[in-house]
Amino acid sequence: EVQLVESGGGLVQPGRSLKLSCAASGFTFSNYYMAWVRQAPKKGLEWVATISTSGSRTYYPDSVKGRFTISRDNAKSSLYLQMNSLKSEDTATYYCARPRRGIAAIWYFDYWGQGVMVTVSS
Amino acid sequence: QITLTQQAESLWISPGERVSITCRASQSLLYTDGKHYLSWYQQRPGQTTKALIYHASVRTDGVPTRFIGSGSGTEFTLSIEHVQPEDFAIYYCLQTLKSPYTFGAGTKLELK
């Protein structure tokens, strides 16, 4: 059974940093791209980052580019999101998700974690 | 970036009815491989987000046949036939044709 379990969330002041983790199990982690998606309170979903199988390629939307860094440790079947210079608008539940992809592009996100809450406030 | 518009924020229906949720894209989601990069997701409180449909019309493993995805180009629909009590949830569309990947704002199915 595929499981994605996020951790590391909490309350952080604006401008500070936080690192999220996602522990994966039930599949060969190193064979899959991975991603983070977030959801602000009472709002919709927003894609945050994607990483290739080896970690050599990463992708971000402009809203987090330069502040967030996605990474992975295939030996530990773990995914990470380093968030720097946090802003109040980064307050959200952060989900770890597994993309299912073809040769050229991601088809969809087939498994999601339960999410971890990050609150950015002074 | 590609904008996805789900015009209905909420839809009120009764169990057993049929409902359609629409998602309109600001540009075609058809890729050169002939597939549309549009997927649908269900969010229920206390549960993980569930993928229902990809490539506009392909059901993911285990999704009941009452969930039907259709559409092409820029107009897409998720239909649910004979709505069951467990179907009252929020539904999102997502495009993965171009980065940044974008979601629709969501449509909440509510009990009439």
Chain A residues with CB within 8 Å of chain B CB: 44-47, 59, 61-62, 95, 97, 99-100, 102, 104-114
The chain-wide mean pLDDT, for chain B, equals 96
Q: Is the pLDDT of residue A102 over 90?
A: no
Please check whether residue B100 is in contact with residue A114, taking contact to mean a CB–CB distance below 8 angstroms.
no
- B60-105: pLDDT as tens digits: 999 999 999 999 999 999 999 999 999 999 999 999 999 999 999 9
Structure-token pair, residue A7: 């951790």
User: What single-letter amino acid sits at B34?
Assistant: G
Please check whether residue B110 is in contact with residue B10, taking contact to mean a CB–CB distance below 8 angstroms.
yes
Name chain B contacts of A104, Cβ cutoff 8 Å: 31, 33
Name chain A contacts of B33, Cβ cutoff 8 Å: 102, 104
Q: Best interface-test mutation with B: which of A27, A98, A107 has the largest number of B CBs within 10 A? A: A107
Q: How far apart are CA A94 and CA A108, in angstroms?
A: 17
- CB spacing of B106 vs A44 below 8 angstroms: yes
| % of chain B beyond a pLDDT of 70 | 100
- A59-88: pLDDT as tens digits: 999 999 999 999 999 999 999 999 999 999
Please report, for chain B, how many H helices and E strands are present, in that order: 0, 11
